A and B are shown apart, each in its own frame.
Chain A
Amino acid sequence: MNKQAVSENERWLLSYYRASEINGALFFGRVARTVRGPLLVDVTHHFTDEANHANYWTKCLDDMDLTPVPQNRAYQDQYLEAVGMPANVMEVMAITQVFEKRVIGQYGRHQRYAGTHPLAKATIQKIMLDERWHVKYVRDALADLSGKYGAELIDTTLARFTAADDEVYAKTLEEYGQRLEFLGETTEHYHGTETE
C-alpha cells in the first residue's frame, strides 16, 4: 500500500472518474446489445473496458484506504443532455469520439501533474492504453460509416458535438473549479482549447 497522502480534491476527482467510467459502461452495454456487424466486437470490447476502468478506480481508491465520494452526475449526463440522446449508430460513434478525446486530455493532464499520487498515475497509465484504442476504433468506424451517412453529415455532427462538449467542459470547470485547481485547471485556460 502506498502511504502518500491524497488530497480531498484528488479523492473527489478519482471518484468522479470512477462514476464517469461506470456511466460509460452502462451506456456501451446498451449499445452493445443492439449494434450489428463489425462494430459488435469493438463496442462490446469498449463496454468491458469501461467496466474495467471503473474497477481500476475503485481498487485504486481502496488501495489508498479511501472510499469513493458519492457523485450525483457524471460528465456524460451533462454532455448527453447538451447534445441530445444519439439517434443512430453514427451519432453514438461521434459522441464517443468527442468524449474520448476529452477523456484522454483530462487523464493526460492529471498524469502530468507532478503531485499526482503514484497509484493514481499507474491507474491512468493503464487506462490510457485502452483510451487510445477507443479513439482509433471509433475514428475507423466513422470512416466506414461515411458510405452510409455521408462524410458531410458526419463532419457536421462531430462539429456540433465538439461545440457542445466545449460548453459542458467550461460549465464543469465553473461548477467544480475548486476541485480541479490542484491540476492547474481554470476556465480561461481550457475553454474551447481541447485538441489532444
Chain B
Amino acid sequence: MQATFAAVAERISVTSGVAVDRLRPETTLKELALDSFLLVEMAVDLQEEFDAIFTQEDLHRVSTVGDLVELLNTSGAADVRARAAADHG
C-alpha cells in the first residue's frame, strides 16, 4: 500500500493527538513531543497500516514526517530482509 503524506498524517494524528492540519512534511518528530513509548506506538501503527518494517537504525535517521513517508515507501519486508542478510552475511 502506497504511503501518501495525507494517509500517514492521518495515522500520526490518531496516535499522537496532534491535529492533522498542524502536520506538514517538514514537521519534526521533536515538535510532536513524542515520548519514547509514543514513538514506538506510532512506529508500530504505521508499519501495521502500511505493511512496512522499520529497524532501530531507520528510526534514528528519521527526523520529519516527510522522512517517515519516504521510509514507509522503501521499507517493505523484502527490502528489510535483504538489508539484514547483507549486514549479517
Contacts and interface: CB of A to CB of B under 8 A. Distances in A.
Contacts of B41: 30-31, 33-34
B80 A152 contact: no
Q: Which of A84, A89, A150 has the most CB of B within 10 A?
A: A150
A interface: dominant SS: helix
Contacts of B58: 87
B67 interface: no
B interface: dominant SS: helix
Interface residues of B, number: 26
B45 A34 contact: yes
A92 B77 CA distance: 17
Interface of B: 15, 36-45, 47-49, 53-56, 58-59, 77, 80-81, 84-85, 88
B77 A87 contact: no
Contacts of B59: 85, 87
Contacts of A182: none
Contacts of B15: 33-34
A87 B43 contact: yes
A153 B84 contact: yes
A37 B45 CA distance: 12
10 contacts: A30-B41, A34-B44, A36-B49, A85-B36, A85-B39, A87-B40, A87-B59, A92-B40, A152-B85, A156-B84
A26 to B, nearest CB: 7
A150 B40 contact: no
Nearest to B42: A34
Interface in A85-115: 85-92
Interface residues of A, number: 24
A35 interface: yes
A176 interface: no
Interface in A14-28: 26-27
B81 A88 contact: no
Contacts of A189: none
Nearest to A148: B77
A152 B88 contact: yes
Contacts of B47: 88-89
